[in-house]
Structure 1
Amino acid sequence: MLLLLLLTNAFVLLPWAGAGRIIGGREAVAHSRPYMAFLKIKNATNTSRCGGFLIRSDAVLSAAHCVDEKGIVSFTVTLGAHNVSSQEPSQQKIPVGKWVIHPEYSREGFINDIMLLKLKKKAKINEYVQNISFAKENEHVRVGALCRVSGWGRTSLNPPPSDVLREVELKVQKQEICHQVFPNYKRQSMICVGDENRKKATYRGDSGGPLVCKKKAYGIVSRGIKHRLFPKAFTRISYFEPWIHKQLKRLSLQDIPGSPSSD
């Protein structure tokens, strides 16, 4: 049974990132992934959405390509959601005060595809909204490890979107597999992920969601090849850990501006 993941066709899709629908997964147990964040991004002409994950009460990690388009006029994060089409009492909708894209991010090959969001106010940590820890600089996930990816999105090629959170289990693959597929694959900053039997995958739109292994985020949904379910290249969080902490510290010292801005 085909399942789902992130950016749905109820909104205008972001340019191809390759990682957007969960195939071969299942509906997540409601509120079993309290770190998941639903990102809604509006500019002058359209609305798009991505995934992300809470790493501090006022900070969310996601993929840089989610904000490739210019002229963003509204950027909000919904935490504590299972069904994003309903007003669940557990939901916390918080505007994004500031976002920082990695300075060496490149759309060509989705290199350094990582972004940190600073929320305008701190989330209330409770049963439905919680942080997730992420890999440190010296931590690596082994080849063959089974990890999970969660998100909201389409359930097959051309369906209506699924509004409930879904998840899929995927295996960490040998780096050589992604080297053969992606000309700009970077071993240090990317993780090769997928199901070699092509029965399970993320697909266009999952962007920004976490690759969770043993209750810790090791990767960010980033890149794939159109019409090809396997493999996918995820952003390797451990490589960016020093940058993440530097930005968290810097943002903590700054006043949040009155309207969204990007550094």
Structure 2
Amino acid sequence: MLLLLLLTNAFVLLPWAGADEIIGGCVAKPHSRPYMAYLEIQTGSQTSRCGGFLIRPDTVLSAAHCVDKEGAVRVTVILGAHNIRGQEQSQQEIPVGRWVIHPEYSSAGTKNDIVLLKLKQRAMINKNVQCICIAKENERVEEGAECSVSGWGRISTRWDMTSDVLREVEMMVQNEQICEQVFHNYQCQSMICVGDEYSKKATYKGDSGGPLVCNKKAHGIVSHARKRNLFPEAFTRISHFEPWIHKQLRRFALQDTPGSPFSE
């Protein structure tokens, strides 16, 4: 019965529900995470937000559930931001031209929760806007590793007030068995178990799509947790999807080549 209650309380870090703060974290040093992307997602008259990160001057990596919506969806990426509502000269606002959701993504159990967003124009790389390396296929972050997560969001889980500045938190990678016990659809190969209840540190709604950074490399993507108990969380394991990511990046490059059968 307890396990059933835990499973029914599972939730995706849904952007339309509002973006709660990085739990137990602090305000990040301005522009200390130049790879961070703020996603503004327009669906009809509704606007939601998510996180993401720049892996190539024309490509942002994020969570599939951020853009998996009914109807016409428009996505705008803001790079180089600290205060997302401020008039910062460092900011670059770029519309997304197209995106590719993993073909085996499933909202049921939030499996293969990954999407590549192709920007309509290349970002200008400078001290405030930079790419981050992603984990390779054979790289696995181990239990006990201290990693960091960042995102924009509400300043409280109780008040509907959003934080305009980027926040960050240190989180520890957990033993896979912990997540297997609380998530019915947890998959060790494609997910990472992160966060423990003793530290009281977590991401929450709206932080979806942000990177789990370990040793200056993106190893995970904020994906889903439980509704009433934030610890632990299941992150998308980037190394498992690295071959697929590079295949899509090659397709993006071909689509940009005039006369290519893949060009638009």
Whether TM exceeds 0.5 here: the answer is yes
Looking at structure 2, the residues matched to 65 and 74 of structure 1 have their Cα atoms a distance apart, in angstroms, of: 14
> What secondary structure is seen at the aligned counterpart in 1 of 2:29?
coil
Larger Rg: 2
Structure 1: give runs of 5+ residues left out of the alignment. 1-5, 257-263
- Per-residue CA distance 1:22-69 (angstroms, 9 max, x = gap): 111000000000000000010113111100000000000000000121
Choose 194-203 or 163-172, whichever is displaced more.
194-203
Residue 163, structure 1, aligned to residue 177, structure 2: no
Q: Is the 8 A contact 2:20 2:155 kept in 1?
A: no
Q: In the alignment, which residue of structure 1 is the partner of 2:60? A: 60
Counterpart CA distance in 2 for 1:200 and 1:137 is 28
Give the strand-richer structure, 1 or 2: 1
Task: Show structure 1 runs of 4+ deviating over 3 A.
Answer: none
Matches within 5 A, 1:97-112: 97-112=97-112
Kept after mapping to 1: 8 A contact 2:26/2:168: yes
Residue in 1 that maps onto 2:221 = 220
Q: Which amino acid aligns with 1:50?
A: C
In the alignment, which residue of structure 2 is the partner of 1:26?
Answer: 26
Q: 1:73 deviation in Å?
A: 4.2
Residue by residue, what CA displacement relative to the aligned partner does 1:122-165 show, whole Å, maximum 9, x if unpaired?
A: 00000000000000000011100000000000122133110100
Shift of 1:7: 7.2
TM-score (norm 2): 0.89
1:200 matched to which residue of 2?
Answer: 201
Determine if the alignment matches structure 1 residue 144 to structure 2 residue 144. yes
Tell me by how many angstroms 1:196 deviates. Answer: 3.1
TM-score, structure 1 length as denominator?
A: 0.89
CA contact (8 A) 2:21 2:167 kept: no
Q: Is the 8 A contact 1:210 1:220 kept in 2?
A: yes
Secondary structure of 2:181's aligned partner:
helix
Higher mean Cα deviation, 68-77 or 23-32? Answer: 68-77
Q: Residues 1-263 of structure 1 correspond to what in structure 2 (within 5 A)?
A: 12-13=16-17, 21-159=21-159, 160-255=161-256
Percent sequence identity over matched residues?
67
Instruction: Indicate how the Cα distance of structure 1 residues 227 and 21 shifts in structure 2: closer, same or farther if over 3 A, else same.
Output: farther
| 8 Å Cα contact 1:112/1:235 also seen in 2 | yes
Which structure's residues are more often helix, by fraction?
2
Q: Once the 2 structures are TM-superposed, how far is the Cα of residue 229 of structure 1 from its aligned partner?
A: 1.5
